[in-house]
Chains A and B, each alone.
Chain A
Amino acid sequence: MAKIKGTIVVDIDKCKGCGVCVPTCPTKTIALGREVNGKGYNYMQAVNPDTCTGCTNCATVCPDTVITVYRVKVEG
């Protein structure tokens, strides 16, 4: 059966770390990191990158549109 695998890329300089995306993630992939960006905000990171399914929930609710979502089918 083909498995679906996703990944997210956060635009670090634009992210304000509001955390609105965290409750929408069904697999707890995304969370607030400890590092800060150039504006002094902690930014969102894929802390569990292996669990991402590419559902686009986090990117859909992101007020600053900083998340790009990629999704591929993995055979096997």
Chain B
Amino acid sequence: MIKPENAVYSRTKVLTDNIMHYCPGCSHGTVHKLIAEVIDEMGIQDKTIGVSPVGCGVFAYNYLDIDWLEAAHGRAPALATAAKRLNPDRYVFTYQGDGDLASIGTAEIMHACNRGENIVVIFINNAIYGMTGGQMAPTTLVGQVTATTPYGRNVELNGYPLKITELIAQLPGTCYVTRQTVYNPLTVRKAKRAIRKAFENSMLKKGTSFVEVVGTCSSGWKLTPVEANQWMVDNMFPEYPLGDMKDI
């Protein structure tokens, strides 16, 4: 039975053979895979430029066999703007986490989206700074315990969770703003369709496509990967509801 002609699911060639450095069960791996599969299916491996962030996703260039740029913290949309304007025939996307995009990079992402740059933004929201050891991020939920909020996020002291995707959906430069997740087969397939649509939009000169993926950080949340998925369903989705916010 184990013959190439019987294979119904195998690793795409756009992913390299490197073992990912991510913790077991990390959503980053799933999203990398979806981007690789979309690039493979669209046949754009030699026409895609990725911009990787600072954060756990910084080593994305080790795992996808395409052209990459590495941006300073939060500045991926600025680099993507330059790459896309100089190479309008290339598919350009940024891959950013919530500490990168929603905190230090807020100015860059807001203005890139407001200018309507024809790029794709993949935004991984796991409500915590994963790489640096689980500190509070702007997207951390009220009451969530992190390394810097040991008694839970306090609204009077730390403010409210930043719903940056809702803010970006207000900007006229964006054409497609959606929030997806990747914790079960149904949502993974939906997220893949959303990423594919975003890549197709970037060549139609309609504006910026913004795909938020609500993910888990089992190490930062101090849960097992399966428990982290359940915690995300119970706590993240009421604050960050899934679905398309804008699609024109």
Q: A residues engaging B (CB < 8 A)?
A: 5-7, 9, 11, 13-14, 16-20, 22-24, 39, 41, 54, 56-57, 59-72
Contacts and interface: CB of A to CB of B under 8 A. Distances in A.
Interface string B19-31: 1101111111110
A43 to B, nearest CB: 10
Contact of B29 (A6, A9, A59, A65): A65
Nearest to A11: B11
Contact of B24 (A18, A69, A72): A18
Given A56-B9, A61-B184, A65-B15, A19 B29 contact: no
A22 to B, nearest CB: 7
Interface in B209-248: 218, 224-226, 229
Chain A to chain B: the 3 pairs with minimum beta-carbon distance, closest first: A63-B29, A18-B25, A18-B24
Interface in B175-204: 182-185, 188-189
Contacts of A18: 24-25, 218, 225-226
Contacts of B2: 7, 9, 70
Contact of B25 (A63, A68, A71): A63
Contacts of B226: 18-20, 22-23
A12 to B, nearest CB: 12
8 contacts: A19-B226, A24-B185, A61-B182, A61-B183, A62-B33, A64-B19, A65-B33, A66-B11
B29 to A, nearest CB: 3
A16 B185 CA distance: 19
Nearest to A73: B6
A16 B11 contact: no
Nearest to A14: B19
Contacts of B132: none
Interface of B: 1-3, 6-12, 15, 19-20, 22-30, 33, 182-185, 188-189, 218, 224-226, 229
A66 B9 CA distance: 10
B188 A70 contact: no
A56 B188 contact: no
Contact of B8 (A23, A61, A71): A71
Contact of B6 (A13, A22, A65, A70): A70
Given A20-B226, A65-B11, A5 B27 contact: no
B229 A20 contact: yes
A13 B8 contact: no
B9 A59 contact: yes
A59 to B, nearest CB: 4
B22 A60 contact: no
A19 B33 contact: no
B6 to A, nearest CB: 4
Nearest to B11: A65
Contacts of A19: 25, 224-226
B56 to A, nearest CB: 12
B200 to A, nearest CB: 21
